[in-house]
Amino acid sequence: MPVSSGISFAFDWEVALIEWLQTHLAPGLITFISYLSMFGEEIIMIAVLGFLYWAYDKKLGREVGLTLLVANVWNPLIKNIVLRRRPYFDNEGIQILRVVDPDADIYDIAAQGYSFPSGHSSGSMSLYGSLFAFGKDRPLTDAAKRILLILAIVLPLLVGFSRITVGAHYPTDVLCGYALGLLVIFIVRTLIRRMKNQYLLFLILLLTAVPGFFYCESDDFYTGTGMLLGFILAVPFEAKYVDFENTRSPIRSILRVIGGGAIYVILNTLLKVPFSSEFLESGTLAAHLVRTFRYAIILFVDMGVYPMMFKVTAAVGRKPRELMRTSS
């Protein structure tokens, strides 16, 4: 049964704005705007993070990834305290044009999540904002830094506008999502700079998720916590047992991202097989813990184990040249 609990509150201008956008914008334009939400959704953010980590700059990928995953935990921690219902729950003039979980009932809060603050907004701000915050410390050209700054501003704005237009969030959800994303960037960046003990840093960030197990009802908390746990376990594992090198080859970069994405999707499917759909959607603590450990395994394999393949493919690519040098 759909979970329809929660609290309804909004400023009149917020409801009026969403209704005006959905009424006066052309259907084709609204459809285009709805797709802008993708820049704050799981598949795109995993692809961006994967490219940074697997291909471009492993250290930058770790920093940006940690920031994003912390934001994805803290957001539902707040959501499940505020309990604000989404705009379309209580306003007949507002339609939901892009749901969080297409497979669940649109009024199932456990699946669709609460409204305040916007997870898409905090996630996009933490991802693209931290890419600029950590990236500007790298030896980049001024032009490259300007591009990162533009992306850090424009992409979250587009995502936030999209979430308002499709009826998924009130404007105040989006604004506070931005604020949360910026706060996470500041805290994580400060901790990384000042704490030399990586394990202590990881432990502190992971402990911030513990209270959520006592009161969080929405799936997004358990997904985020599992991903953070898997990432935190994968980083030291990779450093000790894998230690892969980044690549500047466009083909290798694309193949690494495609491979990592495929593993993510395949594992997410296979790890559901032992459980019935009724159990996974039951909302019980056991189902939530299964979700947490499922995502922990996925991130650990993707970020820690999967890069072992890079050394194998690199060695295969070097063999002909080594043989030529030996024969000469």
pLDDT in tens, 127-166: 999 999 999 888 888 888 899 999 999 999 999 999 999 9
Spans in the chain with pLDDT lower than 50: 1-3, 317, 320-328
Residue 308's domain comprises 12-327
Return the pLDDT at 323.
38
CA-to-CA distance for 272 and 30, rounded, in angstroms?
Answer: 34
Rounded percentage of the chain residues whose pLDDT exceeds 70: 94
The answer to whether residue 117 sits within a structural domain is yes
**Helix, strand, coil in percent for the chain, rounding step 5:** 75, 0, 25
The answer to whether residue 3 sits within a structural domain is no
pLDDT tens-place string over residues 242-273: 999 998 889 999 999 999 999 999 999 999 99
Structure token pair of residue 267:
């594992």
Return the pLDDT at 313.
66
**Cα(first)–Cα(last) distance of the chain, in Å?**
73
Return the pLDDT at 122.
96
Contacting residues for 30 by C-beta, under 8 A, at least 6 apart: 21, 22, 97, 165, 166
Return the pLDDT at 154.
96
The answer to whether residue 260 sits within a structural domain is yes
CA–CA distance from 311 to each of 92, 245, 252 (Å)?
A: 56, 8, 12
Taking alpha carbons only, the member of 231, 310, 190 closest to residue 49 is: 231
The answer to whether residue 201 sits within a structural domain is yes
Return the pLDDT at 314.
63
The answer to whether residue 176 sits within a structural domain is yes
Return the pLDDT at 4.
55
Structure token pair of residue 12:
């009149």
Return the pLDDT at 318.
52
Return the pLDDT at 311.
75
Return the pLDDT at 2.
46
The answer to whether residue 109 sits within a structural domain is yes
ω into 117 cis (within 30 of 0): yes
Rounded percentage of the chain residues whose pLDDT exceeds 90: 72
Return the pLDDT at 322.
47
CA-to-CA distance for 264 and 262, rounded, in angstroms?
Answer: 5
The answer to whether residue 281 sits within a structural domain is yes
Number of folded domains in the chain? Answer: 1
The answer to whether residue 5 sits within a structural domain is no
